[in-house]
Amino acid sequence: MENFLNRPSNDSMEFSDGKENNGIKKYWPYVVGSLVLLAVVGAFAYNSLGRNASQSDVVADSMIIESQNEEAELKSGKDYTEKDIETVIRKMYEDIFGKEDHLLLEPKYVSKGLVDLYARAEAVGEGEAFIDSDHWVAAQDYNQPSLQSVSVKRLSDDEVIAHVRIKPFKEYGIENRMRLFMVYEDGRWVVDDFISECDGKEWSEKTWLENYIRETLALLEKERQSLRDSI
């Protein structure tokens, strides 16, 4: 009986549960509001990240396109100003004169046609020295030569004439004046002809090579014909 009387009645239990439920219900608006706020913040952050990522992608794409456009520009001679070409020539001479024993012909700075002419001339002349001066200096002798000035005149999109003044000797004030006929070939400006003065006359190295090949072949043919006639 005592245990039974001391045990809480159903009414008191229901009353107690009701109080707890009413307490929880009182906080439900705050819980729901917090969840809604978190959802809104999360959605905003997601959209913001997505937007930033999209903007980054756009910037990256634009940089790639710009880089490709710059590379495409380098493939056209018309995109170089005369000042740009002057800078190219200065760097070319700086590289050539910076070598202790610079070659008479620097293939990376001359056109394929001029390289081919030299090869043909050497083959025809059987190794004979057919040019005894340095075409970069326009002189036979020199000591620590230097480029004094350069000016460029455009002839077309892919052709220019460069007027250069070369000081062959560091210790003397004399200067050689010459012209470089340059063409835009394989993405770079190269020399297609060296034009200087010899005995008061204009001297084109390319023309001289062509004449040398033609006259040497003609002489060889004449010698062969004479040998056949003598047999």
Q: Distance (Å, rounded) from C-alpha 36 to C-alpha 181?
A: 77
- Report DSSP state, residue 228: H
Task: Examine the pLDDT at 39 and tell me if it is beyond 50.
Answer: yes
CATH of domain 79-226: 3.10.450.50
Which of 7-11, 65-69, 127-131, 137-141 is modeled with the greatest confidence? 137-141
* Of 85, 79, 116, nearest in space to 209 by CA: 116
Main-chain dihedrals φ then ψ at residue 193, nearest 5 degrees: -165, 140
pLDDT of 54: 46
| Ranges of each domain in the chain | 2-71, 79-226
Higher per-residue pLDDT: 132 or 70: 132
Interval 115-160: pLDDT, tens:
999 889 888 877 665 677 788 888 877 788 899 999 999 999 999 9
Higher per-residue pLDDT: 221 or 22: 221
* Of 191, 140, 141, 117, nearest in space to 161 by CA: 191
Q: Taking residues 19-27, what's their average pLDDT? A: 50
Amino acid at position 97, single letter:
F
Please, what is the average pLDDT of the chain? 74
Cβ neighbours, 10 Å, residue 153: 11
Amino acid at position 110, single letter:
V
179 within 8 A of 155, measured Cβ to Cβ: no
Task: Examine the pLDDT at 28 and tell me if it is beyond 90.
Answer: no
pLDDT of 30: 55
Interval 194-222: pLDDT, tens:
998 877 788 899 999 999 999 989 988 88
Cβ-count burial 81-90 (b if 16+ within 10 Å, e if not): eeeebbebbe
213 within 8 A of 124, measured Cβ to Cβ: yes
Interval 78-113: pLDDT, tens:
999 999 999 999 999 999 988 776 656 778 899 999
Interval 160-192: pLDDT, tens:
999 999 998 888 878 889 999 999 999 999 999
